[in-house]
Amino acid sequence: MQTYFFILAALLYLGCAFMPSERRTPISLGIVLGWVLHGGALLSDMFAPEALRVGFAVMLSATLWISVAAYWLENRNFSLDSMRVLVLPVAAVSVVLPSIFPGNMIVLAGKSDWFLAHIAISILAYSTLTIAAFHAVLMVLQESRLHTRPGPAAQTGWFAMALDRLPALLTMEKLLFRLIGFGFVLLTLTVLSGVVFSEQLFGTPFRWDHKTVFTMLSWLLFGLLLAGRRWQGWRGRTALSFTLAGFAILLLAYVGSRFVLEVVLHRVLT
């Protein structure tokens, strides 16, 4: 049953992604329905009595589930309709991945309460910075369009027209840094809760594995970006480059490394 819900949610996401912008009500309702189906199936798939399913596909799906909600709410306040074609197709792919790559169940008995808290905070951090990355891509496309003079034929596409309806670049930049600031706070809490969780479970504050290294590198990049923004006035291409680089490294921290371990190397880890 979960698989059918996942497939239906993916189809709803895809349908809403490429629906004409004028159909705002069907798009909004379709996203909400897909999000509810996605969340319900994900919840029942992740949690079992005294056990939790982990894996790159599950965590990616959970991240995109929250990212869809963040996009929907952000689009209610600002005209960000063009982000649909970026967020929803990726969400549609992430929805069905747990059915293909189920990961593994870990027993929660004996685990610290920090374990679930750490996972929840990290997913929120990844989700916020995922939306920030989509936002940065949108700004790159918006800036590129402002510096070109497309002919009449190129202006008829709905995505091009949606780009033209985006808020001014300065407004988009303010939104981007608001997302990055919030995501950085969550990422900091992820690192701190990870220290507590690691110390209670493994007896050491840090496990210097790939996940820790990539997470710390991403944290340093986003922190440097915010510091540069505050004291050096960084903006434009510099801000976008830092955002996308930080997100790429963060993606490698868990999703990328788990993909290699689970799918390429066929290793099952907790």
Q: What percent of the chain stands above pLDDT 70?
A: 83
What is the pLDDT of the chain when averaged over all its residues?
A: 81
CB 29 within 8 A of CB 62: no
Summarize pLDDT for 206-264 with one digit per residue, the tens: 666 677 788 889 999 999 999 998 898 888 888 889 999 999 888 887 765 555 555 54
Q: Which helix (H) or strand (E) holds 36?
A: helix 24-46
| Token digits of residue 225 | 């970006």
Which of the pair, 2 or 137, is modelled with greater confidence? 137
Judged by DSSP in three states, 213 sits in helix
Q: Is the pTM of this model over 0.75?
A: yes
| Token digits of residue 20 | 């004409």
Distance from C-alpha of 81 to C-alpha of 24, rounded to nearest angstrom: 9
Using pLDDT thresholds of 50, 70 and 90, give the confidence band for residue 179: very high
Q: Residue 266: left if φ>0, alpha if ψ -120 to 50, beta else—which one?
A: left
Using pLDDT thresholds of 50, 70 and 90, give the confidence band for residue 265: very low
| Token digits of residue 121 | 């905070």
Residue type for 176, please? L
